[in-house]
Homo-oligomer: A and B are copies of this chain.
Amino acid sequence: MTTRRVTLVDVARLAGVDKAIVSRVVNADPSLVIRPDTRERVLEAISNLGYRPNVAARSLRTAKAGTLGLVIPDFANPVYAEIITGAESAALARGHVLVTGSSTGAHSSMDRYLDLLGQGRVDGLMLAGPTTAREQQKLESLGLPWMMVNRRDTGEHHRFVILDDAQAAKLAVEHLLELGHRHIVHVAGPFGADTARRRATGYRQAMKNSTHPVRAEDIARGDYTPRGGAEATAELLRKSPGATAVFVANVAMAVGVLDTLRRAGLRVPEDVSVVAVHDLPLAEHLVPALTTVRMPLQELGARAVDLLLTSSPEDEVAEVVGTAMELVYRESTAPARP
């Protein structure tokens, strides 16, 4: 029972018109002038036959794939889950399908995806997360519209959308200052991540409102993992004793921070307050529930799609999505003891 695909020709024959008419009805061609009863016959034929346009034929003809690509490092990272959700929603709203690939799987890599998606399979490509200069070069060579997400590109032709990480850091530090903390230390992210650099910058700026001047010993760097957060905390406990609060660059490291403080016999928030960036679902399930800064990750993904679709590939794009940031006050921060 191999039922042949229903094509425009089948619909045209049933409706008694030319296939060009059917095509223009299907695509709601505004320049089409058609008698109501003719349109009715066409619509009926489409419905009766269960006609669906063949996307391959359409793509070949129009040179548009109707899909967008997004390459992320890892599906298991909830930060990217949020970005994907926002991007998918915006893509669908604009009539596109989103193809999301990860660059760290067993058979995948950024390179592999650039090959796979650079053959007319997608109309544009978004890269989230770390990218090498070689990858970026390859990306440009594909001749596809592209966009970096949550990361500044390294080339001279900028096309990126990021969040206001400095502002997020300020919100966190200001929260601690309001609670009366002065000696606030920072568990920063890896040097290579520019989100980490921007959060560290925001920390330094906000600390100008503290009576405690920031010294090199007040900052320790981790690799955005729980273990990295644990090691950085151990380092700070040695280098910067007396701190009453910690601003942590991400939630994963905060897990290690909480653990190390606990093992050192310090209570959170009674002895030390802790606040971290990104209000991931995990945050409220930690003990104590983690105070965080919520950033508009979904909107970041949505904005990337919009810009990819509406900007000309030659345009420079350097946008900071700055809406809807807020401090989520939970159990891990409390007033400094007098």
Contact = CB atoms under 8 A, between A and B. Distances in A.
A285 interface: yes
A155 interface: no
A243 interface: no
Interface string A53-67: 111110110010101
Contacts of A5: 63, 120
A14 interface: no
A235 interface: no
Given A88-B105, A92-B108, A100-B100, A119 B255 contact: no
Interface string A133-156: 000000001010000000000000
Interface of A: 3, 5, 50, 52-57, 59-60, 63, 65, 67, 75-76, 78, 81-82, 84-85, 88-90, 92-93, 97-102, 105-108, 112, 116-121, 141, 143, 226, 255, 281-282, 285-287
29 contacts: A52-B119, A52-B120, A55-B119, A55-B120, A56-B59, A56-B60, A59-B59, A67-B121, A75-B75, A75-B81, A75-B82, A75-B85, A75-B88, A76-B81, A78-B78, A84-B102, A88-B102, A88-B105, A89-B105, A89-B107, A89-B108, A90-B107, A92-B112, A97-B99, A97-B101, A97-B121, A99-B99, A100-B100, A282-B285
